[in-house]
């Protein structure tokens, strides 16, 4: 065992509950899977429960269970079929057939409960977890998500067995509406209402819980004043970091090409839209007509959102925006989706980091930010109400704008254009945030608090 890691004492046998474990390219998967080598090196003996959506891990016991609810079954089935047969004819035939057959049951489930689809995975996770614990094979329960069904199963197991429970909250469970909203108001949405209750139960019953931003921890403590008090959860902030994507250990030198390539990776929506940049391009092209033929905006990882599609029409040039979709494993080369993504990241001149415009941005940092740091490419962050993210971007050398500031975004875009034209784009500092620091923090907190 590496001496840098704290001793784990008698709490070595961990049951890790992670709905999306080993799903290629999924942030909710990478957040836990990237930590596993460090946990193993520290002497942890993990047993993982997940859905059937990912690849089965062979380094340790890994059990995959179907959710019991129809909506979750449909979700899991789609990913399982895609992993097994790809997304061709068989995928379309089987998934459409299953969707039609399950539609009445899904409608009934939504009408009666109104929860997000993966909630029912908590049931098989609990049943099989109880069996392992009663067989004296588990010392500690670790729920991570992503899907909140893992936390629900963890709480059930904690209540039934009394074993220590540690909880890793990826995105805030309580979504606030505005800066004055602290999250106390009872939500009208039943799923949001349950998540609010779930947060309270976690903060009351878990032994340790952490969030990924200072904002998320702050608002959780506002709502749950019992955090860090006797007989309640010890709460703290932990930066998840990222492993070098695609095995990257040193960044490839940047090479200027004939085009200025602005690249975005990850999901898009009306509240996180490339239209923000495309509208800025209109004024840039008016001032510098050559930019119309030289700038390319690449979108990887998701379909275009409606606002972006409309902005392309306004811009009047279909070739500026190039949508490449999701990069998955390439059967011809054997490269994983993650390896293909890092190749495209390193072909960028500037990496676009869209934060969004919702209030929850104050509690959220896009997971792609941590992967971007490994590429040593300039990042253009368009952020919203998140001082922590702004500081991390500025400390490492980045272009920074704020959501809603149209003139500021246009000025930054012009600066990028002029820097690229002069071959003087920002040279970011090499300061990636690895996963080793996150694993060390968790192990240290367990040693001290549990």
Stretch 104-115: mean pLDDT: 79
- Per-residue pLDDT band for 1 (boundaries 50, 70, 90) equals very low
Residue 248 has pLDDT above 80, yes or no: no
Does residue 28 register a pLDDT over 50?
Answer: yes
- In whole angstroms, give the CA distance from residue 24 to residue 326: 11
- The predicted pLDDT at position 102 comes to 76
Which residue matches tokens 């190039």?
A: 322
Higher-scoring residue by pLDDT: 379, 332: 379
Residue 1 buriedness (CB in 10 A; 0-12 / 13-18 / 19+)? exposed
Tokens 């001496």 sit on residue: 3
What is the predicted pLDDT for the residue at 341? Answer: 84
For residues 360-385, average pLDDT: 95
User: Given this model, what pLDDT does residue 308 score?
Assistant: 95
Quote the CA–CA distance of 374 and 449 in Å, as a whole number. 33
- Closest by alpha carbon to 416, among 429, 401, 402, 399? 399
Name the band, by pLDDT with cuts 50, 70 and 90, for residue 129.
very high
Superfamily of domain 245-421: Glycogen Phosphorylase B; (3.40.50.2000)
Question: Which range has the worst mean pLDDT, 116-120, 125-129, 381-385, 407-411?
Answer: 116-120
**Phi-psi category of residue 183: left, alpha or beta, with phi > 0 → left and psi -120 to 50 → alpha:** left
Residues carrying CATH 3.40.50.2000, the chain: 13-241+435-449, 245-421
Q: What percent of the chain has pLDDT over 70?
A: 96
- DSSP H stretches of helix in 288-350: 291-294, 306-315, 337-346
What is the C-alpha separation between 435 and 439, in angstroms, rounded? 6
Report the DSSP beta bridge partners of residue 260. Answer: 295
DSSP code of 383? Answer: E
Residue tagged 């415009």 (tokens): 357
Average pLDDT, the chain: 91
Pairing of strands 350-354, 379-383: parallel
The residue written with tokens 């959710």 in the block is 67
Reported pTM? 0.90
Fold of 13-241+435-449: Rossmann fold (3.40.50)
The predicted-structure confidence for 32-87, as pLDDT tens digits, reads as follows 999 999 999 999 999 999 999 899 999 999 999 999 888 878 878 787 787 777 77
Mean pLDDT of 328-357: 88
Q: Which of 37-41, 336-340, 417-421 has the lowest mean pLDDT?
A: 336-340
């Amino acid at each position: 065992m590496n001496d840098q890691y704290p001793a784990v004492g008698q709490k070595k046998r961990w049951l890790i509950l992670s709905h999306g474990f080993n799903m290629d390219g999924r942030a909710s998967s990478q957040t836990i899977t990237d930590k596993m080598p460090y946990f193993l090196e520290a002497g942890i003996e993990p047993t993982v429960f997940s859905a059937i959506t990912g690849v089965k891990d062979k380094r340790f016991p890994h059990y995959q269970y179907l959710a019991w609810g129809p909506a979750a079954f449909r979700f899991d089935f789609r990913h399982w079929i895609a992993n097994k047969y790809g997304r061709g004819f068989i995928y379309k035939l089987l998934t459409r057939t299953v969707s039609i057959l399950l539609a009445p049951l899904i409608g009934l489930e939504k009408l009666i409960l109104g929860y997000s689809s993966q909630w029912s995975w908590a049931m098989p996770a609990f049943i099989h977890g109880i069996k392992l614990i009663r067989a004296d094979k588990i010392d500690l329960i670790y729920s991570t998500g992503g899907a909140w069904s893992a936390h629900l199963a963890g709480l059930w197991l904690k209540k039934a067995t009394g074993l220590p429970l540690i909880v890793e909250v990826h995105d805030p469970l309580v979504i606030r509406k505005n800066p004055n909203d602290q999250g106390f108001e009872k939500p009208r949405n039943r799923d949001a209402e349950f998540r609010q209750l779930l947060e309270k139960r976690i903060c009351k019953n878990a032994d340790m819980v952490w969030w990924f931003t200072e904002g998320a921890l702050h608002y959780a403590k506002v709502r749950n004043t019992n955090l860090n008090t006797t007989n309640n959860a010890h709460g703290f902030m932990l930066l998840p970091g990222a492993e070098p994507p695609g095995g990257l250990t040193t960044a490839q030198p940047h090479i200027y090409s004939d085009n200025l390539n602005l690249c975005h990776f990850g999901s898009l929506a009306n509240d996180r839209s490339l239209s923000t940049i495309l509208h800025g391009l209109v004024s840039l092209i008016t001032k510098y007509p050559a930019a119309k033929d030289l700038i390319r905006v690449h979108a990887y990882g998701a379909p275009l959102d409606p606002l972006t599609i409309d902005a392309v029409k306004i811009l009047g040039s279909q070739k500026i925006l190039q949508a490449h979709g999701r990069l998955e494993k390439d059967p011809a080369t054997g490269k994983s989706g993650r390896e293909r993504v890092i190749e495209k990241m390193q072909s960028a001149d500037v990496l676009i980091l869209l934060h969004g415009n919702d209030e929850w941005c104050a509690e959220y940092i896009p997971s792609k930010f941590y992967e971007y740091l490994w590429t040593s490419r300039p990042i253009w962050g368009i952020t919203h109400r998140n001082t922590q993210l702004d500081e991390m971007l500025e400390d490492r050398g980045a272009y920074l704008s704020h959501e809603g500031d149209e003139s500021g975004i246009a000025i930054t875009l012009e600066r990028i254009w002029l820097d690229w034209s002069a071959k003087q784009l920002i040279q970011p500092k090499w300061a990636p945030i690895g996963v080793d620091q996150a694993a060390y923090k968790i192990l240290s907190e367990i040693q001290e608090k549990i």
